[in-house]
Amino acid sequence: MLSNFASQLYHEIQDLSIRVGDGAQEQQTDATFEGSYGNGIGDGTYDQDFIGGVVVGGGAEPNSMITLFGNAWKAYKLSDPYPVTRNTRLEFIFTLMQEAEGHAICLDRDVNEDTFGGARVRCLMVGGTQFAEWDHVMKTNLLDHEEVSGAYKSYRVDISISDLFPEMNTDITYIGFIQDNDSDPLSGESAFQAIRLYDDDITIIPLVSDCSIFGAAALESI
């Protein structure tokens, strides 16, 4: 699958579909593909995103899974910023098909953060051959989470993200996806699906649930 993907480099950008609310209040809204995540302030300082890309589709619900190939750092902008509280949690299913150097999901106010040494910690790392080496991210051991059956080992992660936002009086504007593989940027494959942002205190609204990411495939030609 990866070799076929690598042999047909293309550039196609689409938007996201986000489910907002809970129960009877749930509604679907659009979000836009923003481009690269973790590339500094646009001056080429970091340039983490190159060669790799993402494809959206499949999952338990239509368009609820995003698959990353190669070295890919991509960002999506929520149409309505999500206010962070001490009760905010992130839930998703992560599947690893071919391990890269690092796999992470990020929640941020902008797309400029340098994950390897910026002013803030905004990313949750879930795996990778360099898992022990990354020291500027929040980490979680997948073995501490529920294993989900499937063709590959998948884990349902449900974790508090309050440590990513110590200032608290802020919003989540972007969701970033990282598959870092500098040494072999055409290798690596992983997927995030059933993404959900929510608060475990039911008195706190709005809720964002079942993030359904339906379209991004971005590759630059070599």
Cα–Cα distance for residue pair 73/95, rounded to 1 Å:
17
| Of 46, 43, 37, nearest in space to 107 by CA | 37
Q: What are phi and psi of 163, to 5 degrees?
A: -70, -20
Strand partners, 125: 104, 139
Parse the chain into domains and list their residue ranges. 2-218
pLDDT tens digits for 4-45?
Answer: 444 343 334 556 665 655 555 565 666 678 888 887 665 556
DSSP secondary structure code for residue 174 in this structure = E
Mean pLDDT for the chain? 78
CB 124 within 8 A of CB 103: no
What SS3 class is residue 142? Answer: helix
Amino acid occupying residue 207: L
- What confidence score (pLDDT) does residue 214 get? 34
What pLDDT is stored for residue 50 in this prediction? 81
The residue to which tokens 């990778």 are assigned = 128
- pLDDT tens digits, one per residue of 78-99: 888 888 889 888 889 999 999 9
pLDDT value, residue 87:
87
What pLDDT does 115 receive?
Answer: 77
Q: Pull the structure tokens for residue 156.
A: 């349902």
Retrieve residue 167's tokens: 């200032």
pTM of the model: 0.81
Whole-number pLDDT of residue 40: 65
Q: How many other CB atoms sit within 10 Å of the CB of residue 28?
A: 11
The ranges of the chain with pLDDT < 70 are 1-31, 40-46, 58-63, 201-222
* 44 close to 38: Cβ distance less than 8 angstroms: no
The domain made up of 2-218 is a member of CATH 3.30.70: no
